[in-house]
Structure 1
Amino acid sequence: MMLLSYANNFYGYGYGYRGLYFDPTMILALLGLILTMIASAGVNSTFAKYNRVRCMRGMTGAEAAQQVLHAAGIYDVQIRHVSGKLTDHYDPRNKTLNLSDSTFSSNSVAAVCVAAHECGHAVQDQKKYGPLVLRSTLVPLANFGSQLSWPVFVIGLIFSLQPLVMAGIILFSLAVLFQLVTLPVEFNASSRALRILEDTGMLGAQEMTGAKKVLRAAAMTYVAALASSMLQLLRLILLSRRNDRD
């Protein structure tokens, strides 16, 4: 963690291994940060708006999740309450649907569609949806790559060891690949959720409009995260080429 922090300061604030200078590649990092901030603000704003709209049927996120799962023929997934806001997730390892404080007991349109989205992942798991299986396989590699990429890359730059520089880029690429695979997983989960909500009549026509906006805003956070990571990867490549020329 210390070396990772050092890497961020070392290149994040314009300090090169040859002194203080303006690093033009910082523009890429800044652009990625702006994209993620815009996407995050968008999902928070949209969720807050429809979190104030009560679902006409009065069901909570937990109740909606149970109905969606049963409508999909799934009865072996346990619904749990976890702390936090928008920390909702489905865990395929123990088949648990974990709903946050802002979803579990809330009867808002936002809560219902977020719960349904997580159910979409449970449906994917049941049907062995290819991208989800691939993403689960990539998890340990992506974690390994994201933790070691910057330390390895910076050590390579400091000591002019091009093989280490390339190793850092490859490790970071694993995290980018994980985020790339995540996109179809998330979009498909939302699509499945909306289909079930509409087919079962759990949400009315106007409520479905709000649900689509919430899930669309949430999807944009994944798109922004991928774009940010790709910009960061490009930055690593540019830094490695500059180091190679020097």
Structure 2
Amino acid sequence: MGYYYYYGFDPLYFLILISVVIAMVAQYKVKSTYSKYSRVRSDLGLTGAQAAQKILNMNGIYDVSIQHIAGDLTDNYNPRNKVLSLSDAVYNSTSIAAIGVAAHECGHAIQHDVGYAPLLIRNTIAPVVNIASSLSWIFIAAGLFFGMSPTLIDVGIIMFSLAVLFELITLPVEFNASGRALTILSDSGMLYPDETAGAKKVLSAAAMTYVASALTAVLQLLRLIMLFGRRSDDR
């Protein structure tokens, strides 16, 4: 291994390269899949907003408001104010892709309504994670500035670990929301079987972006541990 370091090549950079490639592939897949099915109109002709309203009502949820939000694939559900926001490409669109995305966001609203544990955990730790992830690099940089201070660097890595934990908890939340969405769309007849299959491809591609994000975070954490662990051994 010393041979590679001598010539300025750090094998740990492979971790960064792998994560970048995975993220790029995932983003390309979700955009291309969404683009394909955004051009396929559902037979019933429901818009994303109409489908969302029907799904919420079917599940006895009447305190969630649906609003139009600007942007491309900026759809989200906010549990704090119980607002389901649908983007330009989803709100008024009658495409299979739009209905699938709208149903997915409804899946989060349903999770919130029934007290789905991973969602509750994610929402609880989110404020702490936002602060910790921002401060983590400051502590690591400060540790380097003060001569490889192990205490500051360790605190920074622990803070970054919270962000990794958040990414991992997000996975079951997103997969469960998609599963709920596809079941509802199929059982309710809002999408026919072949249309549901198309919606599944859209949601599966979107889910891969979360997998890529989690994997990137894990690889970055691994690199930090290996990098600073190796330097500590060298001291």
Q: Distance in 2 between matches of 1:61 and 1:94?
A: 20
| C-alpha distance in structure 2 between counterparts of 1:230 and 1:170, whole Å | 13
Q: Deviations over 1:197-231 (max 9, x none)?
A: 11110000110110110111111111111001000
Task: Give the partner amino acid of 2:174.
Answer: E
Within 5 Å, give how 1:104-183 maps onto structure 2: 104-158=91-145, 159-183=147-171
Q: Distance in 1 between matches of 2:228 and 2:144?
A: 7
The number of aligned residues is: 227
Structure 1 stretches of at least 4 aligned residues deviating more than 6 Å after TM superposition: none
Give me the whole-angstrom Cα distance separating, in 2, the residues matched to 1:58 and 1:82: 21
Secondary structure of 2:21's partner?
helix
Q: State the alpha-carbon separation in 1 of the partners of residues 89 and 133 from structure 2.
A: 29
Residue by residue, what CA displacement relative to the aligned partner does 1:163-194 show, whole Å, maximum 9, x if unpaired? 11111110000000001110110011011111
3-state SS of the aligned residue for 1:55?
coil
Query: Residue 201 of structure 2 aligns to which amino acid in structure 1?
Result: K
Q: What do residues 27-60 of structure 1 show as CA deviations (whole Å, max 9, x unaligned)?
A: 1111111111111111111000000000111111
Question: Is the Cα contact below 8 Å between 1:157 and 1:243 reproduced in 2?
Answer: no
Aligned counterpart, 2:4 = none
Structure-1 residue corresponding to 2:46: 59
TM-score by length of 1: 0.90
Tell me whether 1:80 sits opposite 2:34 in the alignment.
no
The answer as to whether partners of 1:135 and 1:178 remain within 8 angstroms in 2 is yes
TM-score (norm 2): 0.94
Unaligned runs of 5+ residues in structure 2 are 1-6
Q: How does 1:26-41 map to 2 (within 5 A)?
A: 26-41=13-28
Pairing partner for 2:223 from 227, 232, 235: 235
| Residue aligning to 2:77 | 90
Residue 71 of structure 1, CA deviation: 1.0
Q: What amino acid maps onto 2:140 in structure 1?
A: F
Partner-residue secondary structure (3-state), 1:80: strand
Give a deviation string over 1:132-168, Cα, whole Å, max 9, x none: 0000011012111211111211221232100111111
DSSP-derived class of the 1:173 partner: helix
In 1, Cα distance between equivalents of 2:218 and 2:136: 14
Structure 1: gaps (5+ residues): 1-19
Taking the aligned partners of 1:203 and 1:50, their CA distance within structure 2 comes to 13
**AA paired with 2:206?**
A
Letter in structure 1 aligned against 2:224: L
| CA–CA distance in structure 2, aligned partners of residues 36 and 142 of structure 1 | 21
